[in-house]
Structure 1
Amino acid sequence: MKFAYGFSNLLGSVYRKGNVLFMPDGNSVLSPVGNRLSIFDLKNNKSETLPIECRKNISCIALSPNGITLILVDEEGEALLCSLISRTVLHTYHFHKPVHSIRFSPDGKKFAATRDNMVQVFHAPGKTRQFNPFALHKTFYGAYDHTVCLDWTSDSRALCVGSKDMNTRVYGAEHFTNLIVYSLGGHSDCIVGAFFETNSLDLYTISQNGHLCIWESDTELEGLKPAPTKAEKRATAEEAKEKGGQEEQKKLESEQEEKVLYKRLAKHSFKESRGEGVGYARLTSCTYHKSTKILVTGFQDGVFFLHEMPDFSLIHSLSISDQTISSVAFNNTGDWIALACSGLGQLLVWEWQSETYVLKQQGHFNNMSCLSYSPDGQYIATGGEDGKVKIWNTTSGFCFVTFAEHIGGITGVTFNQQGKAVISSSLDGTVRAFDLNRYRNFRTFTSPRPVQFSCLATDNSGEVVCAGGLDVFEIFVWSMQTGRLLEILAGHEGPISCLSFSSSQPLLASGSWDKTVKLWDVFESKNVKESMIMMSDVLALAFRPDGGELAVSTLNAQITFWNPNTTSQTGSIEGRHDLGYSRKETDKITAKKSSAGKAFNTLCYSADGQCLLAAGKSKNVCIYSISDQLLVKKFEISCNLSLDSMEEFLDKRKMTEWGSLSLVDGGEGDVDGQSVSLPGARKGDMSSRHWKPEVIVSSIMFSPTGRAWACTTTEGLLIYSLDHRLVFDPFQLEVDITPANVKKFLSKGEHSTALMLSFRLNEQNLILEVVESIPAASIPVISEMLPELYVDKLLSFLAGMVSSSAHIEFYMLWIQSLLSQHGMKLKQRSQSILATLRTLQKNITKKNEDLGKICDYNKYTMEYIIALSKAKRKVEPDAEETSEPSSEDDRMDSDSISDLFDT
């Protein structure tokens, strides 16, 4: 099994905080998600999260006009210069203070950043050859409070900056004689946005209390006069001495008269647009599209307005939620508006002319608690503490259905064997089954008396559903077909923490906090078949895919392996050190002491059953080799210091003479009203002034295809997959096996030999060249001659090519030939190649759906054309009679076309 798993995508969370941006082509949205950045491709309906992490949550982003260079700035002011082509970090720069806004100039030669009460203008990286990409050009002062927003003129020669001191200042990015700095007032609250008009110094300023001021400049952009250089000043001074002092005085007076001046044309209030009787809400975000002159403003209560400027005519108003709109953005044409709400983690793209949603995505409101892969690996179901079940498409990264019937936190979720239904258990005392065809709750399972269900399991046939109780120490068994309660399994003396069905025999394993694991034969009797005593409370258990082994995780951070047939222990792993050491900011004990309470809360076997994936209340995910009982690889799911329990040692910069600054500032540890969290508590005190969510992996699962695994964490649903770019991975390699020899055999027509040699080299491009050089007529013969080892490898290669290649029929002939000629042998060793078969099923199903949509569209288009031509013939019968009839070979009858599409 390969272990080159790398970060692939982040699902379950679409927006956290910061500003959203459109790409220059207007088809993609950039959205900061914690300390990562996601790109939502609206044209191709896909999402991608960049493999770049900041040290803390991203607060603002800037994109160059050419769409190549990206700047990410986190909460502490550390900036990362990234390339969107290579998806890598090029440079790191620290502003040492929080940055509220950062923007590139329209010509792409400079960018400006607001920091404290100043604005810094830098030369844009990539325009000049220099060692430091962040070369400071100029620093502008003058504000009495933090600067929060900025905008550039169309020619990039001047910029305006809004501040919390209720003033807006216009600076010249270059040295001008008639503009150095000009301050504009007129507001009684913090400035939220300031925008220049196209090719003009006229601007709009918008404050947080909902007031808009329109300012007109008496000078055009072309009227900005560059300041003379030192040589020009010297020459002018010499001329002035020769001509006398009077002319110089006149020149100075004329320059003072030519200074840029502003006058306020109008002042508008957004309270008029909201109407009478509507409560006051603060304006939180705004943006202006200069070419269409459309102003969009978002408010604290989830309402946003569209106004046409400069008349301030209301075009449209809509409420998207009751939460604050944190950021708004226009695409390049002005047709789409991106709206982001940090409170709900919601991202919308609204087409305001047709009043339709282009994108509407929202993650779980609280943490995700569980996940499950569909049998073909195409979908992931997640359950959250907000009581919602969401289904995500692993290919596109989007959520396509949300079930909100539960009123309590979700504790377990699973697909049925066919992948057509999702079953979930909740703390609200119900287990519900949802239909993925009609998107409805078609079955609800309940207990005789209210029970909080803590875990869920279904058998292989999908006919039996089991759920364990948290407050009642019993296991409830229902029939999927009838919805009736079949059995109540009693025997545990503590809350049921986990359930798992064996795939090879009708055996249910249950783990409890009473330090036992019990095996039940659900179909024969309701008594305990076997009971295994553990050394500590049982937190998680999992059967191997073939049902021949049971892994159990306990509170003492040990993983033990058991034979379910003999109930004998076959091995154990001590995992306390592998979880890593970490401490909370408010902890008064060392990281080593706090690690005593950590353990693995979730387990999962790999598709081939050789490895075990384990995670818990830690940032580390561990992969163990079961045969060697050793740690093979450890993954660190996040390096985000905005989360708690990330560091092992106290930060000396936060230490004072009274102790840790987090304890002093937050008020914890005081005798009166102390809010120190209890040991082992999952969440902090949300009412405290400084609350940080703790990094936790609540659930983990391997994909049925074996190519990926996913985990639900504090940051969202993380997916790690095998890196397909790792090409050279040969086996049974010899000296004479070279690409030249492979091509030599291929040119001689020895296709079978060339195919086997290419697989021994294991270079993707070479295998592709050999396979596509084989004639279709030779496929059955070569398939029959291939040894078993090469059949598995060829099948794995074909499974990957079905989804990406345009030669669908060619590859389907290969797959059909291999499965028909080696079907019996493949069935005998189906367990070892199960991941390959699942990948094959997933890709063929996806391709079938895509082609089906295209064929349906073409069919209806042709039917429309045929109906149109028939109607035209009826309207013009004379024209048909006079025209010469064409031959049967040159004309296809409309009925035959429709028959062709029907087939």
Structure 2
Amino acid sequence: MCAHSNKITGCGVSPDKKLFATVSLDLNLKVWSAQKSTEVASLMNPSPLNCVNFDLEGQLVAVGCWDGAVRLWNWLEQKNVMTLLGHQSSVRSLSFSPCSSMLCSGCLSGEVRLWSVTAAACVGSYHAHRGSTQSLNFLQGGSLLMSAGHDSVVHVWSGGLGQTVAVLGEEKIPSLQQQKRSRHGNEDEANALCVAVASGYAAVGYHGNGIKMFNLKSGEKVWSSEDLQVSMLCLMWMEAKGTELLLSGGMDHNLRVWERQGENPENLVLMGSFGVQKGPILSLAQNSTCVASASDDFTIALWLKNTLTSKPWIDPKVMCILRGHIGGVTCLAFSPNGKELLSGGKDQALMIWKVNTSPPGLSQSISNCHGDWITGCAWTSSAVLSCSSDCKLRMWDIQTGCLLREILSSSSLNTLCCWEDHVMAGSTDGLLMVWKWESGVEIARIQAHKSHIHHCTVVFQPDLEKNVKPEDLLVASASEDGTVKLWHPLKVQHHNTLHGHSAEIQALVSKDARLPEFLTVSADRSLRSWNVTTAMETPRCQKGSVRSVCFLGTDELMVCGYDAGRLEIWHQNSVVYWKKVSDGVLHAVTGMLDDELAVGCSDCSVCIWKLERDSKKCIVGLDKVSSFKVELPVSFLFYCGSLFGVCMDGKVINMISTNDRIKEAYTWANKVRPLGVMANDNKSFWLLGQKKGILYLGLIVS
């Protein structure tokens, strides 16, 4: 049939497969019945068209135009419902997200833009390809976006905004294994309740386990409070005469001041503990002169900052107690000028206190703000915000107390923080959501954690000073899963780059957005099939080279050790588990009895790990059983009744000896260089070596 009067440039199929649409250089978008092969709609555009895509309902059709516009049509009503402007060159690709109202578009310059269809606004953009972005496709229910371009590569991106910067602490494993580990005293078991970041370090408060401090660059834990079995509910860094102090509020009703040692900035020393409130300390806030602490005893205590920083330590006296709430006070925030204090509580009320008067007093009270506890509050330039377990984020007029705007979330909100015109909130289902508070437009919905987010906060970046761009915004979130994560919430996550084609990729398609496979076709005349699981694996440059390999058990599992300290366990052709076990090179790995394996590292350590399995025998974790130190790194490890390590100087050492000391079992004389080991029987193994082109063979008996 004759469909258009000029070249057809794109075609799209509706989700129910009953319709298809075509676009052409003749300016026309046409919708066709797939069953009858008849035209059901023809829509004229002001510009030649390149591409077309149906939304999830099949009623909206998006077209990409030569003039850089993305136009959305309701083909049933045959009218243009919106025009999205922003691209500076011809739009070459489009894709609707199957899980949200997000539309993605790619243009001739390689730019990709993310659009909120409900708000008719661009929520993010990034440069994806050198040359045009030829094809876009959401996969895995919209959690991933694949882009293919003129530069012959496929990129794997997150399906929306939200880039992970760092993960602090180890994520808790499923409940079955949780019970097993608790008997061994796993130090990362406690929930992460709060986080405070300063000078490259993050202090994290845990449920029943005090405070730990992490280095942001390495992600390693560098300090923890000893013998402090107290839940830390809130943390805040303070500056005093060039010294950084950490203030903590605990479940035991006490405030504590910790000093960062100048000669050892990774250590905190307790200066003093104090308090007058008769309930757990739920929130902290500060301005230039004072600190406010909120308690579950319905009160807010004000403290002069200089009384908390005195040397030698003197127990501070409370400046003032503010009373007005009839429930526990859950959140605090000082106004930008520091003259007013906002508080929210379990009584569902917001209160504004004047703290620059003597004595400080209540200036505004807004009752019945929410249908449940208020869990977070913040100031904007012209209003105040509150969030609640009732799933609502609300904006209030400071002068009148009137509700200005309401944003409804899909789950309970536990915490919020603000930066310029953006507000971030954490929910009980692990989502970190970002809105523009002035318009209520949702910018991002990030699955930040697998469970409850207790706290989120904007991280101050002194190196950027006042030149912070939206994409530089950094947010930390603390979760019930035991981790703290740092995010660029307004950046997209780039997962991997897939190479294979040698010319422009012309199309990328998937049979089903829920399946982990897709196809690409290229000007190099090839059709390629890709697997998303493989595509999501850590790029080789981040893993380093494979340095050691061994088989476990009945040879169904293979273990690989990498340059970067990564340990992978493979079953058939897939990675079933991985863990970073060292900062150094993994020189040697070997299997042992009872699902144990030994790993030799470049830091002269040998560690024994045990596989943790769930009820279905799937590997879900690695537990460190023991570790040993040797004089030189081991090049090979072998188990035959005992664990032997072979060093590069020819020494063979018995790692597990009866007298609890590592002992030398054999030394190859004359500087023979070990090349490898091989099994002989269950009590001995062969050792292969070389010297000046001559091979040597030795038998080691356990």
Q: TM-score range by the shorter chain?
A: 0.3 to 0.5
More strand by share: 2
More helix by share: 1
Normalised by the length of structure 2, the TM-score is 0.45
Normalised by the length of structure 1, the TM-score is 0.36
Q: Who wins on radius of gyration, i.e. which is larger?
A: 1
